[in-house]
Structure 1
Amino acid sequence: MNTLTSPAQTNRQTILVCFLAALAGLLFGLDMGVIAGALPFIATEFDLSSHSQEIVVSVMMFGAALGALGSGPMSASLGRRKSLLLGALLFVIGSVGCAVAHNLEILVISRFILGLAVGVASFTAPLYLSEIAPERIRGSMISLYQLMITIGILAAFLSDTILSDGGHWRWMLGIITFPAIVLFVGVLTLPESPRWLAMKDKHELAAKVLKLLRNSDREAREELDQIRESVKIKQRGLQLFRHNPHFRRSTYLGVLLQFMQQFTGMTVIMYYAPKIFEIAGFTTTREQMWGTVIAGLTNVLATFIAIGLVDRWGRKPILKLGFSVMAICMGILGYMFFIGINGSMAQYTAVTVLLIFIVGFAMSAGPLIWVLCSEIQPLAGRDFGVTCSTMANWIANMIIGATFLTLIDTIGSPNTFWLYAVLNAVCIILTLVFVPETKNISLEHIERNLMRGAPLRLIGRQDDSRQHVEKPAL
């Protein structure tokens, strides 16, 4: 009987499983990034107004919100693995539809289908990763999902730049079909989440998965015992939300975290990067596209900072640093647009500030919000809680995508960027008041602290004897 597995072998198996699941983020990023380069050509071919362009961009977020809404019940009943398979299939259908669209209506419908796929992926992949990865590397493995998003965005920017000379927007949108097929095949090899299996009373299967992915049989048994303790709570989802004030607090925190991530302003950088470079004085399509590629590369490289530090420094210190950097950069950009960007020195200064802003996001709010939203929900309500937070992400994303050009047209570039500076400053305060530190703490321990009534900012503390239990406090 096998009692110990090689740590090196187990690490490879765990990382391989997490990598395959994180490929969903690659498709997410490709769909987010590709529209930035394709939109000018689509606008020309279909003679679109600014409002129609905003619809093309934001309909994907609307689909993503609905996809996330449906992912909770689907993931709870079918499992994380089958949900990821469905997401991959929707990616294929939506990508092909965008490539062959002969009018605006077909394009919008196909973008909506892609949104459904993104909603499923953005809900299921971080949830699956949080339930598969051991606590000592959980933060970095969920951050791997965000890294895949940034790589997808960069790959989209590169392909857009290469294809822009001929205006091949159909290839820009259709090329996503190929990695979607790779994701579908990869997910077929994944094990099911042991926590979902335990919720379905499939404890033997859960034990097999944990033995495969942990360093020893003993470690697997101890984790399974903790999971069994968690699943004793029989309430699920909406019922738990209605009757348990502690679960309501964690759900509201997840929603708040996702709004914080989106209202940093990073979304507009990704969706409207060429437009921003145009505002900064880079007038040719080539300059704008290569500037966009540089922004995407910065996003990828800076995400490695989060992966390297999230399980060493912790979530909260990195978030405070990131929001501070972003607030300062947005303030500076607003001022530069206010006084006017004249001359090459001013242009490159504006680009440098923009890239520093991207670093601030990619090392903090980009990956860490997904990490926290997957960690803070109790097992009995995790599907519902993550559904709410993921929906909030896409609702906020849709608001940002559908209003940026309108804000630029109505209140001007300086005031738009100053608005985002203020929002980032607010996020610093919210982090201090509400966000817990969950580094190196098991999901079950976080759950116990939450359900005992600990203030939200303290639910990641190891010494739960110091928590307040009389009433739920924020």
Structure 2
Amino acid sequence: MTSTLVSEVNGDGRIYRLNQHVAAFISSLGGFALGVTMGWNSSAGEILRNILNASGTEISIIGNILNVGACIGVIFILFFIKYFNRITAMFLTMPIFIVGWTFICCAGQKISFLIIGRFVCGMSGGAFCILTPIYIAEIADQNSRERLLIYFHLLINCGIMYAFVIAYVLNEYDTIWRYSFICAMTCFVVALVNLLPESPFYHLTKNNEIKAKDSLKWYRGQTYDDIEIKELKYRVSHLEKITINVLKNRYVVSSFFACFFAFLAQQLSGVNIMIFYALTLFNVGGSGDLTGSEQTVLIGGVQILSCFLAMCLIDVVGRRILLIVSSVLMGLFLILLGWFYKLRDQNPEYDDLYFWMPPTWTTLFFAAFNIGVGPISWALLGDVFPMQIRETAVACAAAFNWALSLITAITFGEMLGVLGVPKTMWLFAGFCWTAGVLCALFVKDTRGHSLAKIQKSFSLENEQIEMNSME
């Protein structure tokens, strides 16, 4: 089988990549719907607190239940994709989104409806955390894959920006159902996935080489090389059942550690807390010359621009460098943010003197997050695991991320009470530095590597031959 790995580029050196970008964008629209759901909580939480007089506990449950739903959705989709192809599975998440938003829009003052709606929307969003990276990795060529995998995080940021802008445009005292309805309309864009062809890899798993070649032509152009079909067949041949030897393989363990530390750096930086409660944090912590709503819009725009920058840089400097730079800068800006709050606690006059610090350090923190840790942590799920355990391993990693987000959100109030704001920021900074650097040590540089070559790098085939000879 190793002879199928001899070619790394098409025979004439030309690959038509426009359709790959279109497919990566459309398949990431589930991330857009997820981002809207995440950003919704920022403004809705303020309305619930100030207008509907919801308690702090109720607001916390409404915000955090999304994480629980995402965890369940990640596990649930594992059974779902056994019976449906990638495109159908992505499309079928749309009705689930609709059900969730229906509960939210019809909730009125019924907190229980909001909780149910957020949970259901979280399930759909969690499903896309598996479906999108796997699909993009299957349709991307080896020289575009890392860049295309960033689309998912980019569309999450676009969804957050959409929710922030709508909240800014609408009057704060409009009923919450109107804001929710405008946010809910975004889930219908998921239907566009039906315009995409199924991945060639999936067709080969069903022994349909003709459709696989047609799909590959759509993604590569008419000049695609037959060697890529052979590489895909090589990958299909490694879909056997999970064995203990696969899980004990040191390269597989290294891949788990890479995802583990990437998500630690993401969630233990407190980034999701800042997104869920952005408006409240800016109204309380300060937003300089801007209003809290204006600052959320600024943050949304910075996230999108930074993600575009990551997309441009990842093929130039690679994942490792971006992860290190991102985590170091995130920690630095959290240190500076904590330093400001310490000064303000010592002397309230510093609040007027250094009013520009909170929005500046927070904005730069989000910029640093989105040039590395944010997009790369999701991109790793596309190609970091071997075929034998890919779907299960991706589900475990994504579930770990959402569980960690939930734990961080639940304990955030306790940390503030025990440590105070400055020390909490410094603790998050320490997590960023430690987890980011450790992640970079375990991350593979896969630029220019086909998925078949990555599969071969795990040396699982050689281990299987050795096991067979021992028997």
Amino acid at match of 2:341: F
Structure 1 distance, partners of 2:106, 2:336, is 42
Shift of 1:165: 3.0
Cross-structure match for 1:327: 331
1:152 pairs with 159, 168, 178, which one? 159
Matched, 1:15 2:21: yes
Cross-structure match for 1:459: none
Shift of 1:407: 2.7
Q: What do the CA deviations read for 1:301-360 (whole angstroms, capped 9, x no partner)?
A: 111111111112111101100000001111111111111163444121221111111111
Cross-structure match for 2:6: none
Judged with a 3 Å threshold, the aligned counterparts in structure 2 of structure 1 residues 129 and 408 are, in CA distance, closer, same or farther, namely: same
Shift of 1:48: 2.7
Shift of 1:377: 1.1
Amino acid at match of 2:248: P
Aligned ranges for residues 99-178 of structure 1 at < 5 Å?
Answer: 99-102=105-108, 103-178=110-185
Shift of 1:230: 1.8
- 8 Å CA contact 1:26–1:150 kept in 2: the answer is yes
Cross-structure match for 1:39: 45
Matched, 1:188 2:191: no
Structure 1 distance, partners of 2:43, 2:245, is 45
SS at match of 1:201: coil
Percent of residue pairs bearing the same amino acid type: 23
Amino acid at match of 1:289: S
Shift of 1:241: 5.8
Amino acid at match of 1:134: D
- Structure 2 gap segments, 5+ residues each: 1-9
- 8 Å CA contact 1:94–1:114 kept in 2: the answer is yes
Shift of 1:384: 0.9
Judged with a 3 Å threshold, the aligned counterparts in structure 2 of structure 1 residues 453 and 171 are, in CA distance, closer, same or farther, namely: farther
Deviates more, 1:124-133 or 1:47-56: 47-56
Judged with a 3 Å threshold, the aligned counterparts in structure 2 of structure 1 residues 344 and 14 are, in CA distance, closer, same or farther, namely: same
Structure 2 distance, partners of 1:6, 1:434, is 32
1:292 pairs with 264, 284, 296, which one? 296
Structure 2 distance, partners of 1:224, 1:234, is 16
Cross-structure match for 1:211: 217
Deviates more, 1:309-318 or 1:46-55: 46-55
Cross-structure match for 1:245: 248
- 8 Å CA contact 2:258–2:440 kept in 1: the answer is no
TM normalised by structure 2 equals: 0.88
1:266 pairs with 254, 268, 271, which one? 271
Deviates more, 1:26-35 or 1:252-261: 252-261
- 8 Å CA contact 1:72–1:383 kept in 2: the answer is yes
Structure 1 distance, partners of 2:222, 2:243, is 34
Structure 1 distance, partners of 2:208, 2:253, is 28
Deviates more, 1:77-86 or 1:327-336: 77-86
Shift of 1:216: 4.3
Deviates more, 1:114-123 or 1:398-407: 398-407
Structure 2 distance, partners of 1:325, 1:116, is 32
Structure 1 distance, partners of 2:283, 2:136, is 39
Cross-structure match for 1:358: 366
TM normalised by structure 1 equals: 0.88
Cross-structure match for 1:339: 343
Structure 1 distance, partners of 2:260, 2:211, is 33
Matched, 1:303 2:303: no
SS at match of 1:77: coil
- Aligned residues, how many? 448
1:64 pairs with 60, 70, 77, which one? 70
Cross-structure match for 2:102: 96
- 8 Å CA contact 1:280–1:347 kept in 2: the answer is no
Alpha-carbon RMSD across the aligned residues, in angstroms, is 2.6
Deviates more, 1:405-414 or 1:86-95: 405-414
Amino acid at match of 1:416: T
Deviates more, 1:147-156 or 1:206-215: 206-215
Q: What do the CA deviations read for 1:414-442 (whole angstroms, capped 9, x no partner)?
A: 12111101101112331343222122211
Q: What do the CA deviations read for 1:203-241 (whole angstroms, capped 9, x no partner)?
A: 32222111211144442x2122112112223423xx346
Deviates more, 1:251-260 or 1:21-30: 251-260
- 8 Å CA contact 2:71–2:402 kept in 1: the answer is yes
Matched, 1:404 2:406: no
Amino acid at match of 1:354: T
Structure 2 distance, partners of 1:386, 1:296, is 27
- 8 Å CA contact 1:92–1:176 kept in 2: the answer is no
Amino acid at match of 1:373: L
Judged with a 3 Å threshold, the aligned counterparts in structure 2 of structure 1 residues 42 and 333 are, in CA distance, closer, same or farther, namely: same
Cross-structure match for 2:83: 77
Amino acid at match of 1:146: H
Shift of 1:133: 1.2
Amino acid at match of 2:264: F
- 8 Å CA contact 2:67–2:406 kept in 1: the answer is yes
Cross-structure match for 1:281: 286
Judged with a 3 Å threshold, the aligned counterparts in structure 2 of structure 1 residues 195 and 380 are, in CA distance, closer, same or farther, namely: farther
Matched, 1:434 2:439: no
